[in-house]
């Protein structure tokens, strides 16, 4: 199960979803069957696209692979990533499906509820993943949405297989406790066992193991992955490798405006540090620093 770690590379290939978020920041709790005054904005999003943007902001040379619709949302989404420094020259365009869109409801505490329509993300297929982009010295980060949605699953499995063949380091974000439960934990573990880093949040770790204790869940998952990093929201994050554990607290000075994309920012901060020097405490602190930046703004991007 072991693989290359700390390869002194800052070059990443991110595979997964690109979305457009319609974010409604509500002034009060949702008034069902009535009006809730809100501030509504549109932002580029998608877990994989967010990670790519944050990685680029951290100085990592980043290529994004995904699928958008042949529509203004798709073109604007790619333009925004390109402006952030991400290589989007290999992104597929589907002529028949709209770019994925998510309605995000943000309550006054900053917590969010999401109503996603994956759209063209489900049209990603193995043919959309150029083999020459998978090469030694690069890191693959795969959004779990790609595996958990049936339409894009073959592409996700192909990305993992090609990265393994090229002896790339690999990280996977399980992405969604609800979709994990629907797909089945054993299925997901079978698809991803042996990758270098698994990055679940506490709910996803519980879904994968049945354990409500993040430490016990991380310890169990570490039998399938080289390293497990569980994000704990306000409690920071913990890292597990075998029976060795490290933790780092969240940055308390951050003002919570919108938690959308905080996990993606953490992932990028952790990986940007880990790729250079894989000391867990340093990487966890880097992830928490970027997550703190993310929650201080509306939307999931730098």
Per residue of the chain (302 residues), give pLDDT as tens: 333 344 445 899 999 999 998 889 899 999 999 999 999 988 889 999 999 999 999 999 999 999 999 999 999 999 999 999 999 999 999 999 999 998 989 889 878 788 889 999 999 999 999 999 999 999 999 999 999 999 999 999 999 999 999 999 999 999 999 999 999 999 999 999 889 999 999 999 999 999 999 999 999 999 999 999 999 988 999 999 998 999 998 877 657 776 667 899 999 999 999 999 889 999 999 999 999 887 777 666 88
Contact 206, 220 (CB under 8 A): no
pLDDT given at position 204: 97
Whether the CB-CB separation of 230 and 200 falls below 8 Å is answered with yes
Counted residue by residue, the chain has a size of 302
Which residues does residue 248 pair with via DSSP β-bridges, in sequence order?
237
- In DSSP notation, 255-274 reads --S--TTHHHHHHHHHHHHH
How far apart (Å, rounded) are the C-alpha atoms in residues 63 and 91? 9
Is the CB of residue 248 less than 8 Å from the CB of residue 236?
Answer: yes
What would you measure as the largest C-alpha separation in the chain, in angstroms?
A: 56
| 76 membership: H or E segment, kind and range | helix 72-83
Q: Bridge-partner residues for 240, per DSSP? A: 228, 245
pLDDT of residue 49: 97
pLDDT for 23: 84
The token pair that represents 5 in the structure block: 């770690």
Instruction: Specify the pairing of strand 169-173 against strand 139-143.
Output: parallel
What is the pLDDT, as a whole number, of residue 260?
Answer: 67
- What domains are defined for the chain? 11-17+46-97+121-295 (3.40.1190.20)
Q: How many other C-beta atoms are found inside a 10 Å radius of the C-beta of residue 13?
A: 27
């Amino acid at each position: 199960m072991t693989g290359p770690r700390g390869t002194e590379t800052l070059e990443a290939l991110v595979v997964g979803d690109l979305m457009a978020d319609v974010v409604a920041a509500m002034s009060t709790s949702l008034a069902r069957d009535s009006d809730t005054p809100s501030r509504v904005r549109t932002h580029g999003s998608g877990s994989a696209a967010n990670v790519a943007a944050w990685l680029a902001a951290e100085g990592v040379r980043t290529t994004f692979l995904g699928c958008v619709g042949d529509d203004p949302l798709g073109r604007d989404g790619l333009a925004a990533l390109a402006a952030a420094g991400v290589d989007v020259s290999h992104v597929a365009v589907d002529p028949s499906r709209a770019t994925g869109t998510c309605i995000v409801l943000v309550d006054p505490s900053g917590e969010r509820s999401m109503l996603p329509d994956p759209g063209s993300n489900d049209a990603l297929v193995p043919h959309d993943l150029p083999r020459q982009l998978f090469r030694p010295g690069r890191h693959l980060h795969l959004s779990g949405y790609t595996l958990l949605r049936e339409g894009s699953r073959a592409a996700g499995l192909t990305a993992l297989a090609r990265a393994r063949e090229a002896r790339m380091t690999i990280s996977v974000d399980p992405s969604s406790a609800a979709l994990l439960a629907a797909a089945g934990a054993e299925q997901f573990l079978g698809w991803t066992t042996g990758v270098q880093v698994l990055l679940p949040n506490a709910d996803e770790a519980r879904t994968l193991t049945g354990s409500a204790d993040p430490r016990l869940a991380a310890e169990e998952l570490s039998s399938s992955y080289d390293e497990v990093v569980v994000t704990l929201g306000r409690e920071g994050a913990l890292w597990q490798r075998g029976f060795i554990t490290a933790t780092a607290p969240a940055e308390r000075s951050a003002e919570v405006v919108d938690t959308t994309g905080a996990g993606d920012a953490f992932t990028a901060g952790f990986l940007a540090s880990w790729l250079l020097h894989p000391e867990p405490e340093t990487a966890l602190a880097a992830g928490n620093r970027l997550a703190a930046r993310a929650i201080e703004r509306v939307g999931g991007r730098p």
